[in-house]
Every structure is written in structure tokens, then in C-alpha cells.
Amino acid sequence: LDQQLEEIKKETGLLTIDGKKYKIGLDDLQVMGQIGSGTCGTVYAMEHAATRSVIAVKKIPRIQNEEEKKRVLMDLQVVMKSHDCPYIVKCFGLLIAESDILICMEKMSTCLCKLLTRTGQPIPEDILGKITVAVVKALHYLKQNHGVIHRDVKPSNILLDADGNVKLCDFGISGRLVDSKARTRGKGCAAYMSPERIDPSNPTGTYDIRADVWSLGISLVELATGKFPYDECEGEFQVLTRILQDDPPKLPSNGQFSQEFCSFVEKCLIKDHDRRPKYAELLQHKFIQIYETKDVDVASWFNQLIEETSGDCGVNLFDV
């Protein structure tokens, strides 16, 4: 791990913004406020002095145990290698200081979890169509290009900006796939975990990318209805029990959602992971194909929502 960190150190102190390279030190970044926290560290909004660009900087303490070092390395490796994917948050560079590692990334406006919480409104199907296309393509890219499974797909790791861009983030607990299988059972948020990841009768403890497909399905039900499917459960154990024992959640069949959307979510939430589709099949689904080409103005919807929310209760979703 230390050797891998030494390799990454060679990239330190250099930012690439709009195609131009800038040498940076701590004095070149001014903290504007805290945005949130991820699996590895705390995220701040900072202004880069030379360009006046406001960027997101994940600040990670260097003094860590081996498990935390693995998380840092995975997060660094994924974001630094994924600059060619438009659906993964862009990394501008990093700075390794005496006590912290700073990962400098593009700043998005909010995550879907905070959007749902602050507005109290479900997200319309056409917006979710564009979000779904972006997330499936990001996950497929990670698998095809880097042999990585995300393992923590949930609304708080799906970001949105004022231009309507949708991007996946937080790769600290992503895992390398060996022969397309992952082996570590307990990584990620339990509430979004697939049955095969928590089933004690699974003898090998292995799972594959279809575990992330389940997590996407749960996220879509939550975002479309405005309510987490296991919301009434008391504690994590009850959630896990329900995931294993109950029929999978589904969208209400009251005509509110299209047949294509209901079908897509139903396929994502097939309990038998051997029957659950992988990304290549999902990308051929009619719901994805519709929203790959359909013109949906995500930016206007988002900015109108910001305006309405700010006016109603004085809350601005930007910089949350």
C-alpha cells in the first residue's frame, strides 16, 4: 500500500483545469465551506487562486490504518483514471501535504439524497430516466475499463449540477473484481445491499456487478416515490431481514409510472442474482433506450426546483 501511495505521490501538486496545468500548494486553495463527507474524508468547497475556479476538495488524513489506506487508494485510483467518462465526477489532481491528502474534483451542486430530503418531492420519471442512463453507463464503464464494482450505489453518491449533468462519486469502498466476482461481504450501506451480499447461506460470500444493479433499483424506487422502501423498519437488522425474506420492492401500479420504468425497476430487483440482468442487458432495455435519445431538460427542472425551494423556506440546495 505504501508503495502504491509513493507512485501516486508523483502526481501531486499539479491541477489540470480546462486543459491547462497549474502547480499548486496549500496556499493556492482557499476554503469556502464544508460540503459534506464521504467514506474517506471531508469534502470542502475551495477556490483555486489562479483560475478563481470553485472546486470540491476531499481532505483525507494521512494517519490511517491499513483498511482506511485501501479506501483512499481505491478512491484515488478510480477518480484519477476515469477522466474519460462523463458520468463519473472529474478529478483535477491531488496534493499530498504533511498531514492530509487533498483530492481536487469538480464541484457539483448537490446529491440526490439531499435533493429528496430538502424538497420532500419525488423526482419525475423523465428526470430519473436521464439519471438512470448516467448511472448505468458509469457502472458499466467501471466494470469494462477498470474491473471495478462500486459497492455503494445509493442516492447520496449520485451527484447533480446546475447544467443538468449527473455523475457518480465516492469510490472509497469500491472493489476489484477477480474473475468478475467480489469477495468482501460487509462493504457499503446495508440498506441498499442486495440479498446475495447479506445472505448467510451464500457459501462463497461472492457477488458480482449485479449487486450494484439491485442497489440502483432500490435507489430508483426511493427517488420515484419519495420514500425509502424499508422506511418503517426499526434498525438495520430488521431492514436486512426484510431484504432477505420479503418480495422485492416495486413501483406502485397505479398508472403513475410508465410500463417501461416499472419493468426496468422490476428487473433490477430480481432477488435471484443469477436471473438479475448485468449492465449490457440493462443498456438494451427500452427504458434506457428511450432516455438515451429523449430530450429532457434536467438543468431547467433542477434550477426551477432550486428557485421554488429557496423561495418557500429560504433553503438553497447549492453548496449542500
**Which of the residues 75, 126, 152, 212 is marked catalytic?**
152
- Position 4 scores a pLDDT of 65
Mean pLDDT over 83-110 rounds to 91
- Tens of pLDDT, residue by residue over 233-243, are 888 899 999 99
- Position 87 scores a pLDDT of 97
Mean pLDDT over 258-280 rounds to 97
Kindly indicate the confidence band of residue 259, based on its pLDDT and cuts at 50, 70 and 90. very high
Average pLDDT over the chain, rounded to an integer: 86
Q: Which of 71-75, 126-130, 199-203, 312-316 has the lowest mean pLDDT?
A: 312-316
- Tens of pLDDT, residue by residue over 195-248, are 998 886 776 667 889 999 999 999 999 999 999 999 888 888 999 999 999 999
- Position 186 scores a pLDDT of 47
- Position 190 scores a pLDDT of 82
Q: Which of 155-159, 188-192, 233-237 has the lowest mean pLDDT?
A: 188-192
Give the DSSP per-residue string, the chain: -HHHHHHHHTTBTEEEETTEEEE--GGGEEEEEEEEE-SSSEEEEEEETTTTEEEEEEEEES---HHHHHHHHHHHHHHHH-TT-TTBPPEEEEEE-SSEEEEEEPPPSEEHHHHHHHH--PPPHHHHHHHHHHHHHHHHHHHHHH-EE----SGGGEEE-TT--EEE---TT-EE-BTTBB--TT-S-GGG--HHHH-TT-SS--B-THHHHHHHHHHHHHHHHSS-TTTT--SHHHHHHHHHHSPPP----SSSS-HHHHHHHHHHT-SSTTTS--HHHHTTSHHHHHHHHS---HHHHHHHHHHHHHHHHS---TT-
pTM of the model: 0.88
Portion of the chain with pLDDT greater than 90, in percent: 57
152 included as an active-site residue: yes
Kindly indicate the confidence band of residue 154, based on its pLDDT and cuts at 50, 70 and 90. very high
- Position 177 scores a pLDDT of 43
* Domains along the chain with CATH numbers: 13-105 (3.30.200.20), 110-306 (1.10.510.10)
- Position 216 scores a pLDDT of 98
